[in-house]
């Protein structure tokens, strides 16, 4: 007796195309980072940041560049001294994480988050924090767990807007 295996459904075009490796943003891409983030700012998912901040902190950002040179996604990763430890350990914060609408569901966000995790470990960051107003599903699938802002680096925790009601998550190694 033979059993026929069902044919796999065709992948959507976004899944069919290979995802390029994330790279570090360049200062001249500040306006593109702001433009990529704008729909998420309008929806309330991200805080508005001036173009000058993106330019000054371009090295914080990992980006996905489309074949036409536009940016399909970005994630910021910044190191902070931990407040509770005196051994000089650093903690990281993942911020301004967004993926263009046409790339959502393609694995682009997961690829960006994996790259941020690899970068954080390479920088010897003892833990990573993030705050999200969304479902947090992607973060939870990548080992983040709920925590409180009190465990996060003080300067970052103080910058959180309590009106946004964001969930704070942590990832440790």
Using CA atoms, how far apart are residues 25 and 63, in angstroms rounded to an integer?
A: 6
pLDDT given at position 34: 98
List all residues 6 or more positions away from 5 whose beta carbon is below 8 Å from its beta carbon: none
pLDDT given at position 5: 40
Confidence of residue 6 (pLDDT cuts 50, 70, 90): very low
Whether the predicted pLDDT of 41 surpasses 60: yes
- Burial-class residue 12 by CB neighbours within 10 Å (0-12, 13-18, 19+): exposed
- CB distance 134 to 150 below 8 Å: no
Using CA atoms, how far apart are residues 6 and 164, in angstroms rounded to an integer?
A: 46
Whether the predicted pLDDT of 119 surpasses 80: yes
Can you say how many angstroms the Cα of residue 116 is from the centroid of all Cα atoms in its chain?
7
β 71-81/23-24 pair status = unpaired
Using CA atoms, how far apart are residues 143 and 141, in angstroms rounded to an integer?
A: 6
Q: pLDDT tens digits, residue range 55-72? A: 999 999 999 999 999 999
CATH homologous superfamily of 20-172 equals Gcn5-related N-acetyltransferase (GNAT) (3.40.630.30)
pLDDT given at position 64: 97
């Amino acid at each position: 007796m033979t059993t026929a295996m069902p044919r796999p459904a065709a992948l959507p075009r976004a899944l069919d195309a290979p995802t390029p490796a994330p790279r570090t943003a360049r200062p001249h891409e500040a306006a593109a980072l702001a433009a990529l983030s704008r729909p998420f700012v309008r929806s309330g998912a991200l805080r508005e940041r001036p173009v000058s901040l993106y330019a000054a902190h371009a090295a914080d950002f990992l980006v996905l560049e489309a074949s036409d040179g536009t940016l399909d996604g970005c994630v910021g990763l910044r190191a902070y001294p931990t407040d509770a430890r005196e051994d000089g350990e650093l903690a990281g914060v993942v911020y301004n994480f967004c993926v263009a609408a046409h790339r959502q569901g393609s694995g682009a966000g997961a690829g960006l988050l994996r790259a941020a995790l690899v970068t954080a470990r390479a920088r010897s960051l003892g833990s990573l924090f993030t705050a999200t107003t969304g479902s947090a599903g992607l973060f939870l699938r990548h080992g983040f767990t709920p925590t409180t802002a009190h465990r996060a680096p003080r300067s970052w925790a103080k910058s959180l807007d309590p009106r946004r009601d964001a969930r704070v998550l942590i990832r440790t190694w």
